[in-house]
Structure 1
Amino acid sequence: MARKPIHLQAAGKLTPRDRIWAAVRAHLRFTFASVADCVVEHAPAEAQVRRIDEDTIKTYVESLVRAGFVRRLNPTRKARYEPALFELVRDVGVHAPRLTKAGEPVTQGAGRLAMWRVMRKLRRFTRAELAAKASTEAHQVAVEDARSYVHHLVKAGYIAVVTPGRPNHPEVYSFVPSRNTGPLAPQIQRVRHVYDPNLGKVVWHPEADA
């Protein structure tokens, strides 16, 4: 099938969803099998599993259909074994849509992703400014969430304190350009480790400051 001259993958360690979305974007029209083949062909060098099973591909593609990113071209197949054929109708870029099986947006982690994108553009910011600029009508970022995220990214070296806080004057921060590792937001794990999916590794843990 014809392919678009586009970049297939975001930087860093890709999830199965990322790899399926990249394969979908690589074709004007596709089947489950062609996506599976493309996933193998463009598997990252560090991928432990090159192939993704067809059930996983089917589940994600069907969620894309329900969300309006993809449409089914042959809903009524002429032959019993004719493969389901799809077409990408809404390309939103390299970031794979995060959807439930019903095609609804997954909001978990959306606030931190928004903060990560915003802080890389701002020269200086407070926690309140970061929360405000990362908020949308659909998803509000609480200042407390910004406080926790900034705290951990300072520990991990992604953010520097420009002006220490004092009474009636909030702390001011700046993003460290050399720590712009990619489009995926560093994650704060339950054990309080900072994991960077762009690098595929833990970049800070509490024991590091002990």
Structure 2
Amino acid sequence: MSRKPIDKQQPSQCRQAIWDEVRNKEDWTFTAKELDVMLDASTIREYLAALAKAGYLQVISEGKRGESNVYRLINDVGHEAPRIRKDGTPVTQGNGRLQMWNAMRIIKQFTPVDLAFNATTDEVEIAESEARNYCQALHRAGYLSVKTPAKTGLKGKPGSGQATRYMLIPTMWTGPQPPQIQRTKQIYDPNLKKVVWSKVEGGAE
């Protein structure tokens, strides 16, 4: 099979494609060459090595003289590919958006304050400003509807105003991975594997 150039793949797509193949292998035993994914061979080997260091895989036979290691999956944590660095340590960047994305589906309607509170865990704390920015981005991209617009409070009466209350549009739950706000001022949905909103174009594609 011809391999799609690595620069055409999102990092999360690379991990997920490899992880899906690992979980599909009979007896969960395989070599890197047996994984049928359209990625550069070095990328596959690198992620497998990281999974082994993190305790997801076991090396049951080390390859010699150019041969591939034989791995076995020993810690199946479900569909979503583990987000780890080369040394096997977990990647926490982006976990906040994953937690917010999951919380949106559960709590139905929310203000940024509600979302930050419900998405915060012992490991990752979500700031109100972070929740507000993510809500605004997903609203622009068509994922969220505004149930109650923001209301400016009366002067001298603290608490008389109200924050925008959002709701995740049910049909816009595209999958388990959170939409990503990219540096290029666009929103990429890893579940759909496409850019769904671009500031340059001013709307969804």
Aligned equivalents of 1:165 and 1:171: distance in 2?
4
- Tell me which amino acid in the other structure corresponds to 1:94: H
**Where do 1:33-72 residues align within 5 Å?**
33-35=33-35, 38-39=36-37, 51-72=38-59
Greater length-normalized contact order (CA 8 Å, ≥ 6 residues apart) = 1
Q: Residue type of the partner of 2:41?
A: E
More strand by share: 2
- Map residues 156-167 of structure 1 onto 2, 5 A cutoff: 156-166=141-151, 167=153
CA distance in 1, matches of 2:173, 2:19: 23
Query: Among the aligned pairs, what percent are the same residue?
Result: 41
Q: Per-residue CA shift, 1:16-48, capped at 9, x if unaligned?
A: 21111111111211111112xx32xxxxxxxxx
CA–CA distance in 1 between the matches of 2:53 and 2:92?
17
Alignment match of 2:171 (pick from 166, 170, 178): 178
Partner of 2:117: 132
**1:22 aligned to 2:20?**
yes
Structure 2 residue runs without a partner (length 5+): 1-10, 154-158
> Could you tell me how far apart the structure 1 residues matched to 2:66 and 2:174 are?
45
* TM-aligned CA distance change 1:80 to 1:196, over 3 Å: closer
Distance 1:118-1:53 versus aligned 2 partners, 3 A rule = same
> Match of 1:66, as an amino acid?
K
8 Å CA contact 2:13, 2:190 repeated in 1: no
SS class of match (2:133): helix
Amino acid in the other structure paired with 2:202? A
TM-score with structure 2 setting the length: 0.81
Alpha-carbon distance, 1:92 to partner: 1.1
Cα contact 1:111–1:141 (8 A) shared by 2: yes
The SS at the match of 1:73 is strand
Corresponding letter in the other structure for 1:200: K
2:111 matched to 1:111? Answer: no
In structure 2, the partner of 1:42 is none
Q: Which amino acid is the alignment partner of residue 74 of structure 1?
A: S
- Per the alignment, residue 140 of structure 2 pairs with 155
* Structure 1 residue 153 displacement after superposition: 0.7
| Structure 1 residue 199: Cα displacement | 2.1
Q: 1:195 to 1:53 in 2, by over 3 A?
A: closer
Greater Cα offset, 140-149 or 200-209: 200-209
Q: 1:208 to 1:82 in 2, by over 3 A?
A: closer
The residue number in structure 1 matching 2:202 is 208
| Aligned residue identity for 2:46 | T
Q: Deviations over 1:46-68 (max 9, x none)?
A: xxxxx322211111011001111
Q: Which moved more, 1:80-89 or 1:90-99?
A: 80-89
Number of positions where the alignment pairs a residue of Structure 1 with one of Structure 2: 182
The offset of 1:158, in angstroms, is: 0.6
> Aligned partners of 2:87, 2:174: CA distance in 1, in Å?
32
CA RMSD of superposed structures (Å): 2.1
